[in-house]
Amino acid sequence: MSRDASSTSSSDRLLRPRRRALLGLGAAGLLGLSGCGFRPLYGRADPVDGAVAAELGAIDVARIPERTGQLMRRALQQRLWAGGQSSPRYTLTAFPSFGVEQEGIRPDGLPTRMRYTATANWWLTTNEVPPQPVANGTERTLDAFDLPDNQFFAADAARDAMVTRLVDQMADDIVTRLAVRFRGQDAG
């Protein structure tokens, strides 16, 4: 191939203008979303977002019993206090529970897969005396893991990873609902 010859195929040359047009349309679409009131939930572009982060930072998470409760409390604290922690004005109480279901049964009757359904009932109250309810809800999520034959450590590790994923998802859902609630208060 000579130095003057291009290594780009003719089909690539034909697609370049289309790609530019699609990128331009995508950018225009994103700019159009800002005109209809769309804002990222956790962004810091305007004072409302800072106000939401301040409200989330003022939430204290009550202790949750058992190991999964400890994991959930830590996950909630990390998400709520991501913008900084201030003196608590609210208390978040959550109670996770787990249901287990066997899937993929072998001919000898042993399961080859376990599915967990996690449910977290939660409520947010003020720290006033008496406490006033602010918000409440129930979050549900599910996940599963395989049970390999004669690999007990692998099954335990897979179960622990799955429980962590479930707890993280429930914490994300709770904090998202709270952020939407506080954003609605600021907008209203």
pLDDT for residue 188 is more than 60: no
- Of 42-46, 97-101, 104-108, 116-120, give the lowest mean pLDDT range: 42-46
Q: How far apart are alpha carbons 120 and 88 in whole angstroms?
A: 22
Asked if the model's pLDDT at residue 43 lies above 70, the reply is no
Mean pLDDT within 169-183 = 93
Mean pLDDT calculated for residue range 161-167: 95
pLDDT in tens, 15-42: 566 666 666 666 556 555 555 555 555 5
Task: Look over the chain and give the mean of its residue pLDDT values, rounded to a whole number.
Answer: 82
- Torsion on CA atoms 24, 28, 29, 31, rounded to nearest 10: 140
Question: Other C-beta atoms within 10 Å of 171: how many?
Answer: 25
- Predicted pLDDT of residue 130: 94
Task: Please tell me the pTM assigned to this model.
Answer: 0.72
